[in-house]
Chains A and B, each alone.
Chain A
Amino acid sequence: MSMLVDALTSALRTDVIFDKVQYPSSVICCTVPQEKFSEAAKVLKMAYALLAAEWASDETLFGRGFSVFACYRWGKEYLIVRAELSADNPEFPTLTKRYLPAYRFERQIQSLMGIKPEGHPDMRPWIKFEDWPQDVFPLRKTFDASKPMLRVKGEYQWARADGEGVYEIPVGPVHAGIIEPGHFRFQAVGEMVVNLEERLGYVHKGIEKKFESLSWNEGVRLAGRVSGDTTVAHSIAYSIAVESMTGCILSERAHWLRALFLERERLANHLGDIGAICNDAAFAFMLYQLSRLRELLLRTNHKLFGHRFIMDRVVPGGVTVDLDDQGKKDILSELDIVSRDFEKLIVIYDETPSLEDRVIDTGILKPKRARELCVVGIVARASGMNLDCRLFNPFPPYDQHDRLELAVPVKVTGDVNARVWIRIEEIRESIRLIRYILENIPGGPISTDMRMPEPDSAGFSAVEGWRGEIIYWLQAGPKGEINRCMVRDPSSVNWLGLERAITGNIVPDFPLCNKSFNQSYSGHDL
């Protein structure tokens, strides 16, 4: 039996009821009484679990009230703890005393689902702006999403810092570069940042609600547009969750092709990121060189798969494009150029003192902090946390460890430089993986037929995109339609890490720190 389940059952005993409708079977879901929701968190925290996600679902269509869910991760295990809440007065005990990321998860639950986290210290809305009507809860079934919303009067309450010489710098939502919108408010003394408060939600497009009006097959197109730079990983995560609910077994080839797309996405984004980070440290040379390599990859993608970002090529049941021998050759010769030039550039990165001066010891997220914040992906690995779903919760084909071996880099300094080096090493690893995939990819069909999920069943998936772990949780309604689709982009947790990492740095280093995190606004705001 699993460690987390053991810990929970020995503490709460008969209060724990196991759910039979959660797929895949490796992910266990259990229901606890509402008042024990936070106690369960306490027990699991003592068992070293991290909080991966927290969300709510409106289950009134089943004749029940609401449910709140918390997903915990420890090593290879995921455990979902659920509590049923009443329909008229839904509330649950907050987890913020045990887990920091619950701060934003619960503000979001309160804002969009209208469920009160009892005892939460900060009840300001999140994503929902002050000019939304108070009683609008878009994720509730009674809400009509098709109509535009009215605007009301209201003002966001910012955190304040007082004292001699403290001043405030508001930035955004429209930023100076070609990037997504968000608002940052710095409190600074001289050049030093005392506090940074993020305010996000500008690109909230109602994605989770939109899923509920789509069919299972249409949903994957939307998943591919949650965050355009992570289109492959999001569509894989969505597809795996659906497939787990329907018992659909994919051909080996489809799995390997997905892995190929996923690694190419990682490669292209990491190359672009390293260039952009150096550019923010006034070293534009790297940006131009690395975006040249990135462009090569995108062109090959376009030629072989018909889309520069390989959007819409992963669907439930498999993939829609195959790879022939000529395609393999194209990729191999492209990789030769990319890896040769990349290695030369890394020597330059490593040996340029002016760059070193900017990136080393800047924007430190200490390992202890990183753990408290339960961050994921590159940010976590640069701060000493050994996490990677490809290794610890392997989805196929990464579960074939004997064949698709994977080295996961971990650094402990937690600064900009560490986040760059994680990317450098992952690029090398992805190049190696792609070469291996091309050599060993099994034959067979690329897609399989899929039946539709059973009513009231739920599917879960965790996929390592280039930013980090992406979680999908899907629930089928009474007629077998999508009742709820919860998307947890890595950015939903990592944004908190940036707030902590910038404190004590100088204001001009903010763009650099921000780039080294490079979180998605769209994936966070949904």
Chain B
Amino acid sequence: MIRILRQIFRTGIVTEPLPASAEDEIKLVGTKLEETIRKRFSRSLTIRQVDAGSCNGCELEIHAINNAYYNCERFGIHFTASPRFADMLLVTGPVTHNMEIALRRTYNATPPPKLVVAVGDCGCNGGIFGESYASLGGIDKVIPVNIVIPGCPPTPIALLNGILKAVS
């Protein structure tokens, strides 16, 4: 236990020692995000992430916005296990033929008003996988999309920015 505590104290809050530019960027986006979320979502924005066929690259970066550096919880963003509690669906990947029905169901299970954010080049337009027998292309081919976040995969900052854009 002593070791754990020591490690925690020694590590401190890593949000501090960021390189100046990145820190500014996170703060900038973060403050705006926090404000908007406070106003419009009474301080808490709940996101359900859905992988509709991605290569897992986008998921890794979505994970990253939860790490101590970006720490998206401090802006009031958190991820939920059920679409029934979600204000926003964060959807990655080209929609595959095999995931289409599951994606529609998840969308229908989310209570309105719901925001849909398509993540990654694949989420925008199918990316390198395009449209084929197995891939239907971008998320908007299947459910209505409010905002897209391009990038392959989009960086954590781009993700935070995109979420901000969606809630403003």
Contact = CB atoms under 8 A, between A and B. Distances in A.
Given A173-B102, A522-B54, A178 B128 contact: no
B129 A180 contact: no
Contacts, number: 160
A279 B19 CA distance: 28
A148 B133 contact: yes
A205 B56 contact: no
B134 A204 contact: yes
Chain A residues touching B, majority SS: loop
A205 B126 CA distance: 10
A178 B53 contact: no
A308 B155 contact: yes
Contact of A228 (B56, B66, B81): B56
Given A288-B68, A311-B57, A146 B131 contact: yes
Interface residues of B, number: 51
Contacts of B155: 302, 308
B67 A292 contact: yes
Interface string A180-196: 11000000000000000
A179 B4 contact: no
Contacts of B136: 148
B108 interface: no
A229 B56 contact: yes
A164 interface: no
Contacts of B135: 205-206
Contact of B69 (A144, A209, A292, A348): A292
B49 A178 contact: yes
Given A222-B128, A292-B68, A292-B69, A202 B98 contact: yes
Contact of A225 (B8, B52, B64, B128): B128
A210 B129 contact: yes
A225 B68 contact: no
Contact of B51 (A180, A285, A345): A180
B136 to A, nearest CB: 7
Interface of B: 3-4, 7-8, 11, 14, 49-64, 66-69, 79, 81-83, 93-94, 96-99, 102, 106, 127-136, 152-153, 155
Interface of A: 129, 132, 136, 138, 143-149, 173-174, 176-181, 201-207, 209-210, 221-222, 225-229, 231, 272, 285, 288-289, 291-292, 294-295, 298, 302, 308-309, 311, 341, 344-345, 347-348, 351-352, 520-522, 525
11 contacts: A146-B133, A204-B96, A225-B57, A225-B129, A227-B55, A228-B153, A285-B4, A295-B67, A308-B155, A311-B57, A347-B3
